[in-house]
């Protein structure tokens, strides 16, 4: 109890894949050499394969928001009408970006903890036939809600609008058929399910979206997707890339390939299910019970509690870094992530720690009840047949 390992358990940054970290030691490499081009090309093609798309995939040196901004500044013109689904802090980021670039945004707002429904998108598209784009989060990390981007994509595909999906915590946590569902732009980030530190953003871009880039007039310079595409074809990035992170990405993608993207998603789904059942056993309410995603589970603090106490106890007692709520949700919820390099043992430990934190602060729990729920979820997912419980 005097040794505490620091564990990064937030929905970004997420736990790091150690061999990817070690690979970063090989950063004494020049980015305009064939050695580096080979790594860059492999990373791009692995990303495209894991995202499961035939669309172009680009890497940008930025956090995820940079790639979000690049989609706005490269594919739209001032004054164009767009529909923005906003179900939390990241939806609000789309709204702010649209406003910053002078787009005319129709905002479909869902209460925190709820999702925007595909019918609302279809309705807004019908009411605004001049719409040029629809923006959404596949997974709204601030609330733990998941959007039905498949149905939304079908509605958008019937129009001239392009569908721009922030899948920064969707990739690797939920199935996304980019080509089949008409997801024209899909944005990802290195510090989520990709198991490496923050600093790289990715996006896939469909032919329908590229066509837009031909006529779009919003100003941009550093994030120039057409220029980036030309350079990517040569195995290079437009500007000096974050070589250490590209090397880490290449290593992590190799690991994800060996696991399988579908298995990585299944892993997150298992952790999310197990977390929900543990919360129920501990008498805790979910913040987003209706459309819970598998990237992160947001749990309400017991009535009258500041969730900051739980976050602080995790950190001070156990070295576990978990996420508080963002914005007005701060103090009300805490969030347990399921993204990337996160396993059964991580979750079992988090739930064991949570039980102690709850009990030590006056929320009655039966020690082990949440952990047992996680174990039963594991047994279910792994097809283990357990001997009858109740003895020993």
Ligand X SMILES: *Cc1c(COP(=O)(O)O)cnc(C)c1O
Rounded distance between C-alpha atoms, residue 376 and residue 390, angstroms: 13
Residue 12 near ligand X by CB under 6 A = yes
The sign one gets for the Cα dihedral 187, 192, 193, 196 is: positive
Q: Which stretch binds ligand X (CB under 6 A): 14-22, 96-104, 162-170, 310-318?
A: 162-170
Q: Are strands 185-189 and 200-205 parallel, antiparallel or unpaired?
A: antiparallel
Tokens of 212: 């837009």
Q: Does residue 69 interact with ligand X by CB under 6 A? A: no
| Sequence-ordered list of residues with C-beta below 8 angstroms from that of 320, at least 6 positions apart, any chain | 7, 9, 314, 349, 350, 353
> Segment near ligand X (CB under 6 A), from 161-169, 218-226, 282-290, 354-362?
161-169
Number of residues that make up the chain = 392
Residue 65 interacts with ligand X (CB under 6 A)?
A: yes
Residue 64 binding ligand X, by CB under 6 A: yes
Residue closer to ligand X, measured from CB, 232 or 323: 323
CB of 67: closest distance to ligand X in angstroms? Answer: 8
Shortest Cβ 62–ligand X spacing (Å): 7
Torsion from C-alpha of 159, 177, 112, 83, nearest 10 degrees: -20
**Side-chain-side CA neighbours of residue 299 (13 Å):** 29
Report how far residue 365's alpha carbon sits from residue 185's, in angstroms, rounded to the nearest whole number: 45
Give the residue, chosen from 56, 166, 228, 346, that forms a contact with ligand X under the rule CB under 6 A: 166
If one asks whether residue 168 binds ligand X (CB under 6 A), the answer comes out as: yes
Is the CB of 171 or the CB of 371 nearer to ligand X? 171
- Longest pairwise C-alpha distance within the chain: 71
Of the candidate spans 163-171, 248-256, 278-286, 314-322, the one that interacts with ligand X by CB under 6 A turns out to be 163-171
Which region, judged by CB under 6 A, interacts with ligand X, from 14-22, 59-67, 73-81, 345-353?
A: 59-67
Binding site for ligand X (CB under 6 A): 12, 63-65, 90, 137, 141, 166, 168-169, 189, 198
């Amino acid at each position: 109890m005097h040794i505490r390992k620091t564990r990064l358990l937030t929905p970004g940054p997420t736990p790091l894949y150690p061999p990817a970290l070690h690979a970063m030691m090989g950063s004494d490499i020049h980015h305009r050499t064939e050695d580096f081009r080979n790594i860059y090309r492999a990373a791009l093609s692995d990303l495209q394969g894991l995202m499961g798309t035939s669309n172009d995939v680009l890497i940008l040196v930025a956090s995820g928001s940079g790639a979000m901004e690049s989609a706005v500044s490269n594919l739209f013109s001032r004054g164009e009408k767009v529909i923005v689904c906003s179900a939390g802090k990241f939806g609000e980021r789309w709204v702010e970006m649209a406003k910053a670039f002078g787009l005319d945004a129709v905002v479909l707002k869902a209460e925190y903890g709820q999702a925007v429904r595909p019918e609302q998108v279809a309705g807004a598209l019908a009411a605004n036939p001049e719409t040029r784009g629809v923006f959404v989060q596949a997974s709204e990390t601030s609330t733990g809600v998941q959007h039905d981007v498949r149905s939304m994509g079908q509605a958008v595909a019937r129009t001239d609008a392009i569908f721009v999906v922030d899948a920064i915590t969707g990739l690797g946590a939920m199935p996304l058929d980019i080509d089949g569902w008409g997801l024209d732009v899909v944005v990802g980030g290195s510090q989520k399910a990709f198991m490496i530190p923050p600093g790289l953003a990715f996006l896939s871009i469909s032919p329908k979206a590229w066509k837009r880039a031909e006529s779009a007039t919003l100003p941009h310079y550093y994030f120039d997707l057409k220029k980036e595409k030309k350079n990517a074809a040569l195995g290079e990035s437009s500007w000096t890339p974050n070589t250490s992170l590209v090397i880490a990405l290449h290593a992590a993608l190799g690991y994800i390939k060996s696991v399988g993207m579908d298995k990585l998603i299944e892993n997150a789904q298992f952790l999310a299910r197990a977390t929900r059942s543990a919360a129920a056993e501990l008498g805790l309410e979910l913040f987003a019970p209706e459309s819970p995603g598998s990237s992160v589970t947001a749990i309400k603090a017991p009535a009258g509690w500041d969730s900051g106490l739980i976050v602080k106890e995790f950190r001070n007692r156990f070295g576990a870094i978990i996420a508080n709520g963002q914005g007005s949700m701060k103090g009300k919820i805490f969030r347990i992530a399921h993204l990337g390099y996160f396993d059964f043992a991580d979750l079992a430990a988090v739930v064991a720690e949570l039980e102690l934190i709850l009990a030590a602060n006056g929320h009655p729990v039966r020690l082990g009840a949440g952990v047992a729920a996680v174990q039963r979820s594991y047994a279910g997912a792994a097809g283990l047949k357990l001997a009858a419980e109740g003895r020993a």
